[in-house]
Amino acid sequence: MRRVLLAVVSVLFAGACSTPAGSPPPVAGSPVHAQHGPATFPANSGFNGTDVMFLQMMVPHHKQGIEIARLAKERTVRSDVRVLAAAIESTQDAEAGTMAGWLRIWGQPPTADPGSHAAHGGMPGTSAEEIEILRKAPEGEFERRLLNMLIAHQDDAVQLARMETSGGANTQTRELARRIDTSRSAQIKEMLGYLR
Amino acid sequence: MQRRTRWVLAAAVAIAAPLLVQAGSSPASAHGTLSDPPSRVYVCMKEDPEVPKSAACKAAVAAGGTQAFYDWNEVSLLDAGGRHREIIPDGKLCSAGREKYRGLDLARADWPAKQISSGPLTVTYHATAPHSGSNFEYYITREGWNPTMPLRWSDLVLIQKFTNVNPTQFTSWTLTIPPRSGRHLIYSIWQRVQYSEEAFYTCSDVDFGGSNPTPTPTASPSPTASPSPTASPSPSPTVRPTNSPTASPSGTWQAGKAYKTGDRVTYNGLIYECRQAHTAYPGWEPPNVPALWLRV
């Protein structure tokens, strides 16, 4: 518990742009040149605590999404659902790499404590037990449960993205959040269609 | 254990929150819902989302899955900032307009309801991550509201507003409940003011005894007025652009279209080849998703 508390506090301090030992101090307002983002973006702007917290929450959240989406390969689902799940897996994998890269460039910790959901800062994460229940779901229920879990998961992602678009300062990160908001909202719509 | 860890974290964030003053703009999530009279999400969480007992909770799980009830304390919008009526559409007040929580919007007359009467009523809010400097608003549905109709903002009557509250894990208030008959909803909004724009929404079913008015038949939309579906052209998936084996551009990228591996599109004058089958979405424009599109 104490370790967890310290981890969370460290995220919050990271949000305050403290300087981790051994890394250059990030200066708010100064350009940070990202090497991982799409080349079409303008030069990066500075970043604030919301940007850092968003990325630290989103990387593990993406990875959980990948874990859920991968279950579609192991079990029987209609082909449209399989295609969607595979696209979720590869796009989120690429985005997670981009986001982790930005945190590295900014000299910020990737997550507070990868083993404890600390990076969620209290936001929901689909727990390992819940994913396990899905994995073991009977054949007739699996697809519906998978879609419901993915809808819930992407709905949380939309919330995190809106936190960033309303409070973040970094241009690239805000733009990524905007695209996460629109693409996940569209995914949810598509998945709701499969449940009808 | 997992669940418990999350609560501990929430508490840790709460303790650490004042530090955020230095950060200027960092949010930290709070959590909670009305536990008495229990909100719909609280009721179904207590019943057990895997094996719900009441017909209403069974229907809610069937409609939207179990995850909503594991995350019972997060029926929230992180960017609300007081804009509740703008961003939550009528009919979706109990879910805060979030698809994850859509089971809570089911308009049914059999949600488990606490028996209450008009006059003083003590209500309790269960906050797993209470935050100081919050505003709470309590509403009740208008006399004449029908529980089988979608809940609209105009159905809500303000009971009382509490500002600058410093909630604890369980915070109670005594409300003065106006006279009502039949089933009603107590609706609450917890708007955080410091450090975050986040707001939480709750729907608690209550029963005053007696009956609700029967819905007036004139108000219901006539099913005969629906346009005949036979007139519309059937949306055929075959309209997807077929690409010639010569790999010539197959058209401009378009959201909503299903693309398969090898399909080529133009986007902003550049040509991209599809690396992986998918349906295109806004936000998944070819230059933005290198996992799906390769520039050629």
DSSP string, A125-180: ---HHHHHHHHT--HHHHHHHHHHHHHHHHHHHHHHHHHHHHH---HHHHHHHHHH
Q: Amino acid identity, residue B83?
A: R
Using alpha carbons, select from B144, B148, B194 the residue that is nearest to residue B27: B194
Q: What is the C-alpha to C-alpha distance for residues B116 and B205, in angstroms, rounded to an integer?
A: 10
Q: What is the C-alpha to C-alpha distance for residues B230 and A156, in angstroms, rounded to an integer?
A: 38
Q: What is the C-alpha to C-alpha distance for residues A100 and A118, in angstroms, rounded to an integer?
A: 16
Q: What is the C-alpha to C-alpha distance for residues A143 and A191, in angstroms, rounded to an integer?
A: 11
Going across the sheet that includes B270-274, the strands are B264-267, B270-274, B293-295
pLDDT of residue A35 exceeding 70, the answer is no
Q: Tell me what pLDDT residue B196 has.
A: 86
Residue with tokens 């057990």: B48
pLDDT in tens, chain B (296 residues): 344 334 333 333 333 333 333 233 334 456 899 999 999 999 999 999 999 999 999 999 999 999 999 999 999 999 999 999 999 999 999 999 999 999 999 999 999 999 999 999 999 999 987 778 899 999 999 999 999 999 999 999 999 999 999 988 999 999 999 999 999 999 999 999 888 899 999 999 999 998 887 765 555 444 444 444 444 444 444 444 444 444 445 699 999 999 999 999 999 999 999 999 999 999 999 999 999 999 99
Which residues 66-125 on chain A approach chain B with CB closer than 8 angstroms? Answer: 83-84, 86-87, 90-91, 93-94, 116-118, 120-125
pLDDT tens digits along A71-124: 999 899 999 999 999 999 999 999 999 999 999 999 999 876 443 333 334 555
Q: What is the C-alpha to C-alpha distance for residues A103 and A168, in angstroms, rounded to an integer?
A: 14
Q: Amino acid identity, residue B239?
A: V
Are B9 and A123 within 8 A, CB to CB? no
Which is it for strands B156-165 and B134-141: parallel, antiparallel or unpaired?
Answer: antiparallel
Q: Which domains are assigned to chain A?
A: 47-111+122-195 (1.20.1260.10)
Tell me what percent of the residues of chain A surpass a pLDDT of 70.
69
Using alpha carbons, select from A1, A32, A149 the residue that is nearest to residue A85: A149
SS3 B222: coil
pLDDT of residue A191 exceeding 60, the answer is yes
Q: What is the C-alpha to C-alpha distance for residues B84 and B152, in angstroms, rounded to an integer?
A: 12
For chain B, the residue count is 296
Q: What are the structure tokens assigned to B209, written together?
A: 């005894």
Q: Tell me what pLDDT residue B29 has.
A: 53
Q: What is the C-alpha to C-alpha distance for residues B131 and B153, in angstroms, rounded to an integer?
A: 26
Mutate which: A166, A184, A192, A196, vs B, most B CBs within 10 A: A166
pLDDT tens digits along A121-156: 455 566 788 888 899 999 899 999 999 999 999 999
Using alpha carbons, select from B93, B101, B34 the residue that is nearest to residue B67: B101
Q: Amino acid identity, residue A133?
A: I
What average pLDDT score do residues A178-190 get? 97
Using alpha carbons, select from B132, B27, B2, B16 the residue that is nearest to residue A10: B16
Q: What angle do CA B30, A96, A188 make, to 5 degrees?
A: 65
Query: Who among A9, A49, A162 is closest to B79 (CB)?
Result: A162
Query: Who among B8, B20, B289 is closest to A91 (CB)?
Result: B289
Which is it for strands B76-77 and B258-259: parallel, antiparallel or unpaired?
Answer: unpaired
Identify the residue with better confidence: B85 or A23: B85
Query: Who among A83, A129, A183 is closest to B281 (CB)?
Result: A183
φ, ψ for residue B216 (rounded to 5)? -70, 130
Q: What are the structure tokens assigned to B226, written together?
A: 């629906």
Q: Tell me what pLDDT residue B244 has.
A: 41
* ipTM score for this prediction: 0.79
Q: Which residues of B touch A124 (CB under 8 A)?
A: 6, 70-71, 74
Other beta carbons within 10 angstroms of residue A73's beta carbon come to 11
pLDDT of residue A1 exceeding 70, the answer is no
* Closest B-chain CA to A166: B79
SS3 A79: helix
Cβ pair A121, A57 in contact under 8 A: yes
Q: Tell me what pLDDT residue B228 has.
A: 45
Alpha-carbon torsion (A116, A121, A122, A124), positive or negative: negative
DSSP-derived secondary structure letter, B91? T
Contacts of A176 (CB under 8 A, 6+ apart): A37, A95, A98, A99
Cβ pair A22, A28 in contact under 8 A: no
Q: Which residues of A touch B66 (CB under 8 A)?
A: 130, 133, 145, 148
Cβ pair A186, A67 in contact under 8 A: no
φ, ψ for residue B99 (rounded to 5)? -60, -30
Q: What are the structure tokens assigned to B250, written together?
A: 């197959």
**What's B18-48 look like in SS3?**
HHHHHHCCCCCCCEEEEEECEEHHHHHHHHC
Mean pLDDT score across all residues of chain A: 78
Q: Tell me what pLDDT residue B132 has.
A: 80
Q: Amino acid identity, residue A74?
A: E
Q: Tell me what pLDDT residue A124 has.
A: 55
Q: What are the structure tokens assigned to B102, written together?
A: 């859509």
Q: Is B266 exposed, middle or buried (0-12, 13-18, 19+ CB in 10 A)?
A: middle
Q: Tell me what pLDDT residue A13 has.
A: 34
